[in-house]
Amino acid sequence: MALQESIKEQISKLPKANQQAINSFDWEKQCRVIGEKHNLMDSEITGLKAEVTLVLVGLSDLRTLHRYIDDEIGGTGWQEIESYVIENIFSPIGEILEIIEKHNAY
């Protein structure tokens, strides 16, 4: 549960629109789906969640996430894992954030 609390704490430090976008999408479930689809161990799924969190809160970037996936998960399918994270986590959250920002501008 320490990871959950840390995630919530870091997200709470973001601008309100970012918090809303991140909290309105079940990205943690998507991390688990990605992990299960690629037969990752629980520790690898937890690590993936942690790395995705770091990118979401702005403490890391996609290059670092790429290195984590390549070095720590590796094996066949790491490119697929990386593109799945981008397509099924970051892109939807980005789209939600755009909608929130447009709505808040009016």
Q: Is residue 41 part of a domain?
A: yes
Kindly report the CA angle at 42 between 53 and 2, in degrees rounded to 5?
50
Q: Is residue 90 part of a domain?
A: yes
Spatial distance between the Cα atoms of 93 and 56, rounded to a whole number of angstroms: 9
Q: Is residue 52 part of a domain?
A: yes
Q: Is residue 7 part of a domain?
A: no
Q: Is residue 51 part of a domain?
A: yes
Residue 12 CA: distances (Å) to CA of 24, 30, 53, 106: 14, 21, 12, 24
Structure tokens at 88: 């099924």
Predicted pLDDT at 3:
67
Domain that holds residue 80: 24-105
Q: Is residue 11 part of a domain?
A: no
Q: What total of structural domains would you count in the chain?
A: 1
Task: Record the pTM.
Answer: 0.85
Question: What angle do the packed helices 91-105 and 16-23 form, to 10 degrees?
Answer: 140
Q: Is residue 46 part of a domain?
A: yes
Q: Is residue 9 part of a domain?
A: no
Predicted pLDDT at 29:
95
Per-residue pLDDT of the chain (106 residues; tens, 9 = 90+): 676 788 888 889 999 999 999 999 999 999 999 999 999 999 999 999 999 999 999 989 999 999 888 888 877 678 889 999 999 999 999 999 999 988 877 6
Predicted pLDDT at 74:
73
